[in-house]
């Protein structure tokens, strides 16, 4: 008989039909009731074993074991479920050594501990919910852009360019570490390397996406990106996923509209399609909040927060206005910021969080940053000081989107690249788009894990990617 997913059995109240179910035992009570989970949904199905079943079999039905059940779906007499499976036959697919198995129903493992057993944590309710939501968000990303006629462009993972001009990349090489070929001046001779040049893992697909936008008008890329910055925070990964749309003929305002629509769409999508998981995560967060002192608790629950973001326009301010707000805040006057505030600084996460969590209490889009703290490709404003950058700041997260209108004027772009020591000869392929039919265009990058953090209400980015890569950590 073909296997039926537990989700499909629980979805309707139909009874008196034969099923085959397979899954992992979450708990086994009174030698009779199995709570069985197959990951298709949060809920377990109750499997009832006839009294007097073979003792040897009963002993092998332990938490974590995998089983195959043939039985009949019947109305449940017990509380908590409408239907259950009355088993005709139960066979063990894989035994589970219960002395060793770390996920016992009685003790509630901490998130930190579960991170150490990331290969098993999918089997908990919390991580089941997180990764079903993550999947839905990824699907919704593609649906959003597909519905709007964007072309999904696969940009390269291995690259010879440093898109953000930031350094801090992971090198890709097949040269021997201990004895690389060298030039006469002692530097490594990358002409001998696999690609005949120095290559790295990409930090962003933007520059290549721009090339696509110059032909398809609307493209997006959604792939892994890598940053070797040593930021050991709850918001940074060394390997993370980013969605980067790039749109010809869009200016900075169109760019903001697209980003805002996109974020609201993603949230609305999971609210509609993953309600059981979101409700579970909301309860988890509410329980966690109760442990905090009154004045540190958030005002809105997870569901209220998500509904609020879907239903309210984001605040739009300039960088200069943001600095003024910070300088005029009581927080600043009482010297509560760790980092000083003045026009020209890169906003620190404490500043960003003040703006969204204390001042506006909603997502904020900040535009017009000083050109000296932003990348070379951002369009220069007429004031000579700022660029058409935009960052979106989200409550509890800080920066979730970074983007800009791009500098489409060849002379301005090369001038800025020269000022920032970016080799224009090596970047001829990028500059060619400005030589051959340049157009105004704009795009942004949404950090996918930061989006998953926001939607799930989790506090640490390591808990929303299946296998986190952070400094000194690449297990599994």
* Positions that interact with ligand 4AD (CB under 6 A): 163-164, 204, 206, 227, 236-237, 240, 242, 244, 399-403, 443-445, 447, 449-450
Residue 315: contacted member of ligand 4AD, Mg ion, none (CB under 5 to 8 Å, by partner type):
none
Four-point Cα dihedral 460, 463, 466, 471, nearest 10: 40
Rounded least distance, CB 360 to ligand 4AD, Å: 18
Could you list the beta-strand ranges (E) of 43-107.
45-48, 66-75, 83-94
DSSP three-state, residue 133: helix
Residue 227: contacted member of ligand 4AD, Mg ion, none (CB under 5 to 8 Å, by partner type):
ligand 4AD
Residue 443: contacted member of Mg ion, ligand 4AD, none (CB under 5 to 8 Å, by partner type):
ligand 4AD
Q: Which is nearer to ligand 4AD, 64 or 447 (CB)?
A: 447
Rounded least distance, CB 401 to ligand 4AD, Å: 5
Q: Which is nearer to ligand 4AD, 132 or 450 (CB)?
A: 450
447 in contact with Mg ion (CB under 5 A): no
Q: How many CB atoms lie within 10 A of CB 338?
A: 8
Q: How many CB atoms lie within 10 A of CB 178?
A: 5
Q: How far apart are CA 32 and CA 3, in angstroms?
A: 22
Rounded least distance, CB 381 to ligand 4AD, Å: 17
Cα–chain-centroid distance for residue 417?
A: 31
Q: Which is nearer to Mg ion, 19 or 453 (CB)?
A: 453
Q: Residue with the closest Cβ to Mg ion? A: 402
Rounded least distance, CB 395 to ligand 4AD, Å: 14
DSSP H stretches of helix in 371-465: 410-419, 428-435, 448-456
- Under 8 Å between Cβ of 61 and 34: yes
Residue 449: contacted member of ligand 4AD, Mg ion, none (CB under 5 to 8 Å, by partner type):
ligand 4AD
DSSP three-state, residue 252: helix
Rounded least distance, CB 239 to Mg ion, Å: 17
Cα–chain-centroid distance for residue 410?
A: 35
Binding mask 372-411 for Mg ion (x = CB under 5 A): ------------------------------x---------
- Residue 392: strand pairing partners: 365, 401
The two tokens of residue 183 are 């030039």
Q: Which residues bind Mg ion (CB under 5 A)?
A: 402
């Amino acid at each position: 008989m073909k296997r039926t997913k537990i989700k499909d059995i629980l979805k309707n109240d139909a009874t008196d039909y034969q099923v085959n179910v397979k899954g992992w035992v979450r708990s086994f009570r009174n030698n009779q009731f199995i709570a069985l989970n197959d990951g298709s949904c949060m809920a377990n199905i109750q499997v009832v074993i006839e009294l007097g079943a073979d003792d040897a079999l009963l002993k092998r039905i332990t938490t974590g074991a995998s089983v195959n059940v043939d039985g009949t779906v019947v109305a449940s007499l017990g509380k908590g479920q409408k239907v259950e499976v009355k088993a005709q036959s139960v066979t063990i697919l894989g035994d589970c050594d219960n002395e060793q198995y770390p996920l016992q129903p009685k003790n509630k493992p901490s998130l930190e501990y579960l991170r150490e057993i990331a290969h098993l944590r999918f089997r908990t309710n919390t991580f089941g919910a997180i990764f079903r939501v993550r999947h839905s968000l990824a699907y919704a990303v593609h649906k959003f852009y597909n519905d709007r006629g964007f072309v999904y462009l696969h940009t390269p993972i291995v690259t010879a360019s440093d898109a953000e001009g930031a350094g801090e990349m992971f090198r890709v090489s097949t040269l021997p570490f201990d004895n690389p070929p060298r030039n006469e001046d002692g530097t490594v001779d990358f002409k001998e390397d696999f690609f005949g040049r120095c290559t790295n893992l990409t930090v962003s697909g933007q520059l290549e996406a721009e090339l696509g936008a110059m032909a398809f008008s609307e493209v997006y890329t959604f792939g892994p990106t890598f940053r070797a910055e040593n930021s050991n925070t709850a918001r940074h990964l060394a390997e993370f996923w980013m969605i980067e749309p790039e749109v010809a003929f869009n200016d900075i305002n169109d760019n903001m509209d697209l980003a805002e629509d996109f974020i609201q769409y993603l949230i609305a999508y999971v609210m509609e399609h993953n309600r059981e998981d979101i409700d579970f995560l909301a309860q988890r967060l509410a329980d966690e909040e109760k442990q905090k002192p009154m004045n540190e608790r958030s005002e809105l629950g997870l569901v209220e927060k998500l509904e609020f973001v879907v239903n309210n326009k984001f605040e739009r301010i300039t960088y200069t206005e943001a600095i003024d707000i910070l300088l005029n805040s009581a927080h600043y006057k009482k010297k509560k910021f760790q980092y000083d505030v003045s026009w020209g600084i890169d906003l620190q996460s404490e500043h960003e969080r003040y703006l969204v969590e204390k001042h506006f209490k909603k997502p904020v889009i900040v535009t017009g940053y000083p050109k000296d703290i932003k990348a070379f490709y951002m369009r220069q404003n007429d004031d000579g000081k700022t660029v058409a950058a935009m960052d979106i700041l989200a409550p509890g997260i800080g920066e979730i989107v970074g983007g800009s209108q791009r500098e489409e004027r060849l002379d301005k772009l090369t001038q800025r690249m020269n000022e920032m020591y970016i080799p224009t000869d090596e970047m001829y392929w990028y500059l060619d788009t400005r030589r051959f039919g340049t157009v105004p265009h704009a795009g942004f990058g949404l950090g996918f894990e930061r989006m998953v953090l926001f939607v799930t209400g989790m506090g640490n980015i390591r808990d929303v990617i299946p296998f986190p890569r952070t400094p000194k950590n690449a297990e599994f």
